Amino acid sequence: MTTRSPVIDLRQITKRFGNFTAVHSIDLSIGEGEFFTIVGPSGSGKTTVLRMLAGLESPTGGDILLRGQRINDVPANRRPTCMVFQSLALFPHRTVGQNIEFPLKIRDVAPEERRKRALQLMAQLRLPESYYGKNVTKCSGGERQRVALARALAYNPDILFFDEPLSAIDYKLRKTLEKELKDIHRETGKTFIYITHSLEEAMVMSDRIGVMRQGRLVQVGTPNEIYTAPNSKFVSEFIGDVNIVPVRLVNGNTLQSDELGAQFVAPPMPSGFAAGHLVVRPESLRIIERREDAENALRGKLYNEYALGSRIQYQVRVGEQVFIVERLRQQALGKQRDSDVLIGWNTADSILVGD
């Protein structure tokens, strides 16, 4: 990713609304043709960042550079960027075709040419040709997504922004549309900047992910980096089910958990580390026979189990804390509730993070 030349540079971008700082001095560089996703809980400032990139809000401080040119004061209608809105913002008084042709009409493209381009885009996005004259409000959710994307592509922007367009779509269709979007990204070679509150969605599609929290960009990395090396408790929790144990360093590389009354071997830790959280993913946590089977072990009681389709999730109570263990369905445990189990993990599979 680092070999791409940057198309967008954010330099200490800040946005304040009155006394409230929505975005706090963000530095970020996004490469040409990259699929970059900003992820964060609602209110984390991700939409504000996107709106500043689109030119719909202007930053209170800092600079936005497009291929090295400062574009802070360029309004949205003169930026080579286009946004797919959360509500999709399809024009209800226009047909599917007219919606897609809108940016071309604004540019005074001849009607014949417009129609040709619209039909071309509809074919690319798997919208039947007969939809050209269809009222856009009569389209289904997935079709409307495609119309919105086609309209944005008709503008022929260098960069496309997506403001959680899939958030209101049911799971199965969302999965399909995520794949389609990734295909479109590949076919067009344009830069995609996507916003979502679901890290799972971000993982599937993105080249790189930026995680935002309370107006700050807390981590930027590839999906793999974010998953395997979160730099904070916040990021590690954001991905989904995860086991987190508060720990403090007692000597050399021994970690002490006061709640569990247990000691663990510390994985590589940030310099000057004194106390923090040990993170173990459910798939790295194993149910073992003997203490010697893993570098770290805890004794607990089987509390509950959930079938997740291809996997089974076990909840194991150790003292007050519930640990989550995931196994493939073929390796089902077959134990009664409340039976004693031993759980363990290898030090290399654990991560040490601050808050």
Contacting residues toward other proteins, per CB under 8 A = 54-56, 75-78, 81-83, 85-87, 89, 91-93, 95, 102-103, 105-107, 133-135, 138, 151-152, 155
| Cα–Cα separations (whole angstroms), residue 244 to 52, 282, 353 | 36, 10, 10
Q: Residue 16, class by beta-carbon neighbours within 10 Å (0-12 exposed, 13-18 middle, 19+ buried)?
A: middle
Question: How near is the Cβ of 105 to other proteins at its closest, in Å?
Answer: 8
Joined together, the tokens standing for residue 19 give 């006394």
Which of 91, 306 has the CB closer to other proteins? Answer: 91
Tracing tokens 């417009």 back to the chain, one arrives at: 114
Which of 138, 179 has the CB closer to other proteins? Answer: 138
Question: How near is the Cβ of 58 to other proteins at its closest, in Å?
Answer: 14
Question: How near is the Cβ of 305 to other proteins at its closest, in Å?
Answer: 44
Q: How many beta carbons lie within 10 A of that of residue 249, not counting itself?
A: 17
Question: How near is the Cβ of 135 to other proteins at its closest, in Å?
Answer: 5
Which of 84, 242 has the CB closer to other proteins? Answer: 84
Which of 103, 267 has the CB closer to other proteins? Answer: 103
Which of 81, 350 has the CB closer to other proteins? Answer: 81
Tracing tokens 């076990």 back to the chain, one arrives at: 314
- Whether the CB-CB separation of 40 and 235 falls below 8 Å is answered with no
- Whether the CB-CB separation of 103 and 114 falls below 8 Å is answered with no
Question: How near is the Cβ of 201 to other proteins at its closest, in Å?
Answer: 21
Q: Where are the beta strands (DSSP E) in the chain?
A: 6-17, 20-31, 35-39, 61-66, 69-70, 81-84, 159-163, 191-196, 208-213, 216-221, 243-251, 254-257, 262-265, 275-280, 286-288, 296-307, 311-318, 321-328, 340-345, 350-353
Which of 148, 181 has the CB closer to other proteins? Answer: 148
Integer Cα distance of 70 and 132 in angstroms? 39
∠ CA 28-89-205 to the nearest 5 degrees?
Answer: 45
Question: How near is the Cβ of 162 to other proteins at its closest, in Å?
Answer: 13
Which of 77, 336 has the CB closer to other proteins? Answer: 77
Question: How near is the Cβ of 150 to other proteins at its closest, in Å?
Answer: 12
